[in-house]
Amino acid sequence: MVKKFVKHGNSIALILDKAILELLKMDAKTKIELSTDGTNLIISPINFNDSAIFEKSLKKINTFHENTLRKLSE
């Protein structure tokens, strides 16, 4: 499949077909990671089902908002 970039303000956008998004279980809210191997652009969905990432994020939030969360629980 050949695609072209589309001008979007001062940037460019890549339009992905609905069928591709459905195949990858992605939508407009899916966070993605962009990387390259030096020649190719690699677009990967960020999988938040990874429990290690979730646990790390939860710990950070709990530490930062500890006092507020404690007050809410009372």
With a cut of 90, say whether residue 4 has pLDDT above it. Answer: yes
At residue 69, the pLDDT reads 87
pLDDT band at 10 (very low <50, low <70, confident <90, very high): very high
pTM summary value: 0.52
Please check whether residue 31 is in contact with residue 46, taking contact to mean a CB–CB distance below 8 angstroms. Answer: yes
Q: What is the pLDDT of residues 53-65, one digit of tens each?
A: 778 888 899 899 9
At residue 73, the pLDDT reads 86
Domain ranges, residue 46: 5-73
Please check whether residue 66 is in contact with residue 73, taking contact to mean a CB–CB distance below 8 angstroms. Answer: no
Count how many domains the chain has: 1
